[in-house]
Amino acid sequence: MTEQDFIPEKYSNLIESGSVTWESPSNIALVKYWGKKKHQIPENPSISFTLNECKTITTLTYSKKESNDYFSFEVFLEGKKKDDFKPKIQTFFERVEPYLPFLRDYHFKIETKNTFPHSSGIASSASGMSALALCLMSVEKLYNTGNTEEFSNQKASFLARLGSGSACRSIEGDLIVWGKTDSIENSSDLFGVKYPYKVHENFKNYQDTILLVDKGEKQVSSTVGHNLMHNHPFAEQRFAQAHNNLNTLKPILETGDLKNFIALVESEALTLHAMMMTSMPYFILMKPNTLEIINKIWRFRQETGLHISFTLDAGANVHVLYPKKETRQILEFIKNELVVYCQNEQYICDQIGFGANQINE
């Protein structure tokens, strides 16, 4: 498929007004997207678990307006006007307009809320942009009724990607691949696809307890970080490694090989941060408590033989990953030994989820 396939036929008879609500989850990458080309095309493939509890809920209210020579929208977070969200949405509208030609015909009210604290340092761009893309797809469906569900999901993912790369992995679950790579059939740079191969029971209901180590604003945004992969001394090796890791992950997922899963996922997390530390300018997003937690996880794993591991996003928070059947002991360890390293002892218990849902009012 190409971008052209997402350009719809001309619409006739614009509907006057309406409203639609979607909830869409966040996701956590196992093989990380870090580095992008023009038009939000990733430099390397990535794969993520869709989450279940960390979600954005967005209501889009649309009403036809007189003039169609500008975008018109207002944004609210938990009922409060958020003008500082507008530039990102303006850019998103500009990018997706060729694929949603009705955008200038309406005034939009975007009302959004998260199930997790906004200032938790959890990326709300994946859940937020995917929820908005799905709301816009619902408007489009009023005009193009003939699309298959598969096509609609692909287009929602395609649009979400243009808002924030990782958002394209939040439309469906439970494992999503984004980025063309030889080892995964039908993988695409344009949108996320469901991981198409066998996945062992060990990885069903996998748990993710998110330790909120630092809730402050990040010193460096993901977008700036991605751009620092241009002219990065290790870029080519890193991109090749991501392709290899996806290939390596296939037999691991199929056979339920937890030991090698842990090694691959932790190595990916540390490589992501190593890329940040070796870019120019360089930066460190981990905090002392991030390292305390990692060391405690390693020690606990060695002592108990349990399959606890961690991954990191572009920030200081730690995602603690483990199989469902080890929940009791691992959660006890988290509560007794790791929560002290969290800001205000805050953490979120999440697990693998199955993607976004429309909410009918």
Residues in contact with ligand DP6 by CB under 6 A are: 29, 32-34, 40, 46, 123, 125, 164-166, 222-223, 226, 272, 313-314
Q: How far is the CB of 47 from ligand DP6 (least distance, A)?
A: 9
The CB-nearest residue to ligand DP6 is 165
CB closer to ligand DP6 out of 88 and 104: 88
Residues contacting residue 329 through CB under 8 Å, at least 6 positions apart = 304, 306
Task: Copy the structure tokens of residue 72.
Answer: 């018109």
Q: How far is the CB of 31 from ligand DP6 (least distance, A)?
A: 8
The C-alpha angle with vertex 188 and arms to 352 and 315, in degrees rounded to 5, equals: 50
CB closer to ligand DP6 out of 21 and 58: 58
Return the DSSP state at 7.
P
CB closer to ligand DP6 out of 226 and 307: 226
Strand 72-77 versus strand 309-312 pairing type = unpaired
Tell me the C-alpha distance between 195 and 172, whole Å. 10
Tell me the C-alpha distance between 305 and 115, whole Å. 33
Q: How far is the CB of 311 from ligand DP6 (least distance, A)?
A: 9
β-partners of residue 80 are 77
Q: How far is the CB of 36 from ligand DP6 (least distance, A)?
A: 6
Q: Are 351 and 205 in contact (CB under 8 A)?
A: yes
CB closer to ligand DP6 out of 31 and 136: 31
Q: How far is the CB of 315 from ligand DP6 (least distance, A)?
A: 8
Q: Are 341 and 212 in contact (CB under 8 A)?
A: no
CB closer to ligand DP6 out of 147 and 227: 227
Q: How far is the CB of 100 from ligand DP6 (least distance, A)?
A: 19
Look at residues 103, 84, 102 and name the one whose alpha carbon lies nearest to residue 93: 103
CB closer to ligand DP6 out of 17 and 91: 91
